[in-house]
Amino acid sequence: MNATRTLLPRRIGSTNALLFVVCLAQFMVILDVAVVNVALPEMRNSLHFSTTGLQWVVNAYTITFAGFMMLGARVADLLGRRRVFVAGTALFALSSLACAIASSRGMLIGVRALQGFGAAVVSPATLSIITSSLREGPERNRGLGLWAAIGGLGASSGALLGGVLTQVFGWPAIFAINVPIGALVISLAPRFIPADLRSTAPRHFDVAGAVLVTAGLVALTYGIVRTEVLGWSSSGVIVPLALSVILLAGFALVEARVASSPLVPLSIFKRTQLRTANLIVVLMYAALFSMFFFVTLYLQQVLGDNALQAGLSFLPITLSVFTASSLAPRLVARIGVRPVVTLGMLCATGGLLLLTGVRPGGDYFVVVAPGGILAGLGMGLTLVSSTIAATQGVPWTQSGLASGLLNMSRLFGGALGLAVLSTIAASSSRGVGGGALAMTDGFTVAFEVGATITMLAALLAALGLRARPASAVAPALVSAKPHVSERLAA
């Protein structure tokens, strides 16, 4: 009895420390997707970027982050999650330092790409460490809930933190802040993350599959982000998209017929829960990532807020994402994944419909705050419960793979949604007479399309996800890797 009493606090404390380390790293890499947006004007003045060149400060990070995601996920499974996590964090911190001291346009874009590669290694490793170290059921759901909450917080607080850091310290501060955070993560990881289990099985690395999927995803991401400047019918968009289809088809052929130890075993896609959850995440990010973009433009270009004011305006939305993410694991344990995801997407739909009321001279507290808060609640509920659904029942040997798929769905959903909805908004603004009214008319149409997307996601959740609560776990799954969980108490 005394031994049990001693062990339990130590185990809970160790679990909390593990979650702190991996969630801090996840917050850092997700934050850097959006934190640069409000600093772009200052970067343009400091390094003399053109308008076209400035977009690559964002795109260089997004493309490498998404393109190398599956490679990073598989490397963590094969070479050890903790060592890959530490190495990726070190690379991310060093490249962040290089971003902060960059003295030319080319240097900044180059090290932003390197930073994205580090993020592609770190992000899937964080989720894989949680799913492979914590027992499936309430313990893991709590960890997944916190991980998703921190990821949502990073995505939604980018404008706020970027505005504060840029206005007080200048644009290099948005990158320099990652250096002490990375150092803290690296120092704590060996103490609180379980050592990588040693395996006597040979480590086969699917080189052909890795090259094809990485090149295919980079080409796909590149084609999507270029639509913002070139349009969908441009050869600069069509060619990389067509190339991505060819490369990804070749990857599927290699995985199914050629590779003895495939990078992505296609059998994982037989899991209906995983497929459905990933599709829901794609749809959610397609609608809500672009929402943050359009609201930022509305606040700054229509209502006249400066960068700091616009950032502070996102604080209620950020808090709503975090609050819903914190509540979601308990809701999932009570009523199951399907109702929570469905409710989340219905909330998001309601929030986007409220945002269709944006107009010149509009009131932030009447339209933006209520709509953003409701959409943020939907995002928090859906992200956590979809993460639980996507990783539920996946063998721990494939946890990195499942994590990589989920992270890739988030990035591609956001990139694709922003490309499509910004094109729709721009097209809807033409011929209206120009000015703020034309801009808000375009935003309104984009929000309407986004609401349609989230309603489709709600329908998909209601019909495609399992009804049983996530806490109902088969005993075999719990006992499959007890030694990993037990290491946390040591």
With 0-12 / 13-18 / 19 or more C-beta atoms within 10 angstroms meaning exposed / middle / buried, residue 8 is exposed
Q: What is the pLDDT of residues 400-437, one digit of tens each?
A: 677 778 878 887 888 788 778 888 888 887 655 567 88
Q: What is the pLDDT of residues 4-52, one digit of tens each?
A: 333 333 444 588 889 999 999 999 998 887 788 777 778 888 888 775 5
Domain limits of the chain? 2-196+263-489
pLDDT at 45: 83
Q: What is the pLDDT of residues 195-205, one digit of tens each?
A: 875 544 455 66
Mean pLDDT taken over the chain: 82
Q: What is the pLDDT of residues 121-146, one digit of tens each?
A: 998 888 888 888 888 778 887 887 78
364/400: higher pLDDT:
364
CATH number for the domain running over 2-196+263-489: 1.20.1250.20
Among 41-45, 337-341, 471-475, which stretch is predicted with the lowest mean pLDDT?
471-475
Mean pLDDT score, 73-96: 89
pLDDT at 241: 92
Among 35-49, 167-181, 246-260, 473-487, which stretch is predicted with the lowest mean pLDDT?
473-487
CA–CA dist 360, 298 (Å, integer): 9
pLDDT at 88: 95
Helices 69-79 and 81-100 pack at an angle, to 10 degrees, of 140
Whose structure tokens read 């922003």? 418
Kindly report the number of other CB atoms within 10 A of residue 102's CB atom. 21
Judge whether residue 226 has pLDDT over 90.
no
Phi/psi region, residue 336 (left: phi>0; alpha: psi -120 to 50; beta: rest), is: left
pLDDT over 70 for what percent of the chain? 86
Contacts (Cβ under 8 Å, ≥6 apart) of 8: none
